Structure 1
């Protein structure tokens, strides 16, 4: 009844308790803490992300969540407003390790050259695999661009939010003749290795 009052339906509650089964046995007073914490970080009751926010903050304690929020903010040099956008759209970001945030920041900001505000307004990219998607897809598109094989410049976000099938159809398969090693280099990058042809100076 309490969760229904927070805007969660039966399926949301089932999914939440599947991830955090301890919520089923904790007393109601203690359960109200994560709800207040979720609202404090910018995810209101009734929003589509509220279940995910509860999962992210449950049993972690206010001080620990505050520390994670501050670390996320400083790592990407976001303003309070930008941080609120990120957390409200992707609260599970708070469950990632500091090292994970640091690696993503180094790649997206220093490597790709994205502005922190650009990332903040597109937080879905932070949930993608760094080694399995972000890096190999970036390397492949950059290779094409460096070799004059792209007809027009591509926005980074619009490039990485498609399915792998679409990515292959757009950027890998059309260049089998002009870049015969591209498919092999891309597959190698997806395994966490970078070929010499994907090493840019």
Structure 2
């Protein structure tokens, strides 16, 4: 296990080493190699980008192919994020697609399209916020202009796709 963890690029003395050990604990070298190749193909990453992403977030090796594929499609195809951006911020991939990534994307997209955001926050920063901080920064300040935004955001968190926010399209 130690050799596998070091083999994916996580040094023994790093903070991530224990997480890397946990991620590779039940995987053979062949399965690790297959997962690395799948990450390269799915996220369109180079060898260096995969190595960097796995070093930062070893649990990527434990995620199912289906989960990785759905998140890749959403982040790259639907959101238009560059593969390099994702590789530099791989924690995005560990977030819940239905509970965090999609709802926050819908809310921020709506606010941008309607000129309600004064500055552009990077998507990684938006995703990292706690739920309370996200509500305070992105939803609550606009409750007078778009009174139903919090309800639409809550619906998106439940997996419903918002179609209209008040009189303005989401």
What TM-score comes out, normalization by structure 1 length? 0.80
| Rg (Cα) greater in structure | 1
Deviations 1:153-178 (A, max 9, x none): 22211222111111101111111111
Deviations 1:29-80 (A, max 9, x none): xxxxx11111111111111111111111113211111111110111001001
User: Of the candidates 128, 131, 135, which is equivalent to residue 98 of structure 2?
Assistant: 131
CA distance in 2, matches of 1:159, 1:69: 27
Partner of 1:194 in structure 2? Answer: 161
Deviations 1:93-148 (A, max 9, x none): 10000010001111111111110001101111111111101110110010111111
Partner of 1:119 in structure 2? Answer: 86
Unaligned runs of 5+ in 1: 1-33
Give the CA RMSD over aligned residues: 1.3
Q: How many residues align?
A: 167
Structure with more relative contact order (C-alpha pairs < 8 Å, separation 6 or more):
2
| 1:148-159 aligned within 5 A | 148-159=115-126
For residue 152 of structure 1, report the CA deviation from its aligned partner. 2.2
Single out whichever of 80-89 and 151-160 deviates more from structure 2: 151-160
Partner of 2:46 in structure 1? Answer: 79
Partner of 1:29 in structure 2? Answer: none
CA distance in 2, matches of 1:117, 1:139: 22
Unaligned runs of 5+ in 2: none
- Ranges of 4+ aligned residues in structure 1 off by more than 6 Å: none
